[in-house]
Amino acid sequence: MVYAQTHPDTDGGAPRSRIPGLGGWGRDARGRSTWRRGRILAGLAVLLTLLLLFHAEVPNRVGNLGSLLETFLPWLGLAIPVLLVLGLIRRSATALVVLLVPVLAWVNLFGALLTDKSGGSYDFTVVQHNVNAGNSDIPGTVAVLEAAKPDVIALEELSAGAELDAFRQDLAAEYPYHVVEGTVGLWSKYKLSDSGPVDIRIGWTRALRTTVATPHGDVAVYVAHMPSVRVNLDAGFTANQRDNSAQALGQALAAEKLSRVVLLGDLNGTMNDRSLAPVTSQMRSAQGSAGSGFGFSWPAALPMARIDQIMTRGVTPTDAWTLPRTGSDHLPVGAHIEL
């Protein structure tokens, strides 16, 4: 049995009880118990939970703050260990108990991404890459992409002239069929038909649609490069042009007649971003359903968000991954698909 010991206050007041072994987890100098301390930390934990669970309620009217939050939503989890350390320093049982709530909220949202969902048969492999208009290592980039042994390769940010000619020359041996519309292109081992641009309302061509004649039947493949977004002090998270393009692309996908559809592209947004709902509401993320981890693809030097997407409808992704870094500021991404 453990008995409480009494220790006189240094100021000559009444003795305080202290349980041996608890150290500073008893009352503090102001007489507050461990359950009364750390209420501000507990409030911050509640605020973190609300942001995680109700991120869709953060308005976009001012600086598109809602979309900015949703782009980097998984990173809110970094606040949890910070609050944990502060709670331990404060020796607050209240803060530590309340901190379990955002932990459960984060795991509910993103825990499934941490498991390995890959596996199963596949008969179609795709790779998608924003090659960067200033890419100075095209042979090295092609080598990385071909190492995944894809059936089709989608490229964005192609520059007309010598760079495009170099990609055509280096990919020709393995991928004899290709289509280029504006700054996007698709290289394929199988014949292509019904190819053409897709209007995503930006004034020039950055999306295409083609039919790939695989040995297992036709597949409609879309390649898209959504307009860039910017974060600045004056205008906030400027994404209006990207959002308009997402609506146009969503309409094109909704009108697609083939039942098997694959979308490859740099969408400049994550699956959590509400502004991409016209697309994400009718397509399935390969990374989310068949990958392992978050699959962040940008920026290549320190990936913080997955804005390069492989999405499907009417087919089954069985694996998804990021490829090694190339001369681009994006990482390539790949997926196995069962047709």
Answer whether 305's CB lies under 8 Å from 269's CB: no
265 and 154 in a common domain: yes
Residue where a domain stops, chosen among 94, 113, 132: 113
153 and 64 in a common domain: no
Q: What is the per-residue pLDDT for 156?
A: 98
Q: Report the domain count for the chain.
A: 2
Residue where a domain stops, chosen among 88, 113, 138: 113
CATH at residue 166: 3.60.10.10
81 and 97 in a common domain: yes
Distance between CA atoms of residues 98 and 94, nearest Å:
6
pLDDT by 10s per residue, the chain, length 339? 444 444 444 444 444 444 343 456 777 777 778 888 899 999 999 999 999 999 999 987 776 788 889 999 999 999 999 999 999 998 999 999 999 999 999 999 999 999 999 998 999 999 999 999 989 999 999 999 999 999 999 999 999 899 999 999 999 999 999 999 999 999 999 999 999 999 999 989 999 999 999 999 999 999 999 988 765 555 445 567 888 999 999 999 999 999 999 999 999 999 999 989 999 999 999 999 999 999 999 999 999 999 999 999 999 999 999 999 999 999 999 999 999
139 and 75 in a common domain: no
Residue where a domain stops, chosen among 97, 113, 129: 113
Please write down the HEC assignment for all residues of the chain. Answer: CCCCEEECCCCCCCCEEECCCCHHHCCCCCCCCCCCCCHHHHHHHHHHHHHHHCHHHCCCCCCCHHHHHHHCHHHHHHHHHHHHHHHHHHCCHHHHHHCHHHHHHHHHHHHHHHCCCCCCCCCEEEEEEECCCCCCCHHHHHHHHHHCCCCEEEEECCCCCHHHHHHHHHHCCCCCEEEEECCEEEEECCCEEEEEECCCCCCCCCEEEEEEEECCEEEEEEEEECCCCEEECCCEEECHHHHHHHHHHHHHHHCCCCCCEEEEEECCCCCCCHHHHHHHCCCEEHHHHHECCCCCCECCCCCCECCEEEEEECCEEEEEEECCCCCCCCCCEEEEEEC
Q: Cβ neighbours of residue 92 under 8 Å, at least 6 residues apart?
A: 34, 37, 38, 41, 42
121 and 109 in a common domain: no
Q: What is the per-residue pLDDT for 2?
A: 44
pTM reported for the whole predicted model: 0.85
| Amino acid symbol at 184 | V
Q: What is the per-residue pLDDT for 15?
A: 45
233 and 93 in a common domain: no
- Provide the 10 A C-beta neighbour count for residue 126: 28
Distance between CA atoms of residues 259 and 315, nearest Å:
9
319 and 221 in a common domain: yes
Distance between CA atoms of residues 236 and 228, nearest Å:
14
267 and 158 in a common domain: yes
- φ, ψ for residue 246, nearest 5 deg: -65, -40
326 and 217 in a common domain: yes
108 and 197 in a common domain: no
329 and 228 in a common domain: yes
172 and 24 in a common domain: no
Answer whether 316's CB lies under 8 Å from 337's CB: yes
Q: What is the per-residue pLDDT for 171?
A: 98
| Domain extent at residue 40 | 5-113
Q: What is the per-residue pLDDT for 235?
A: 47
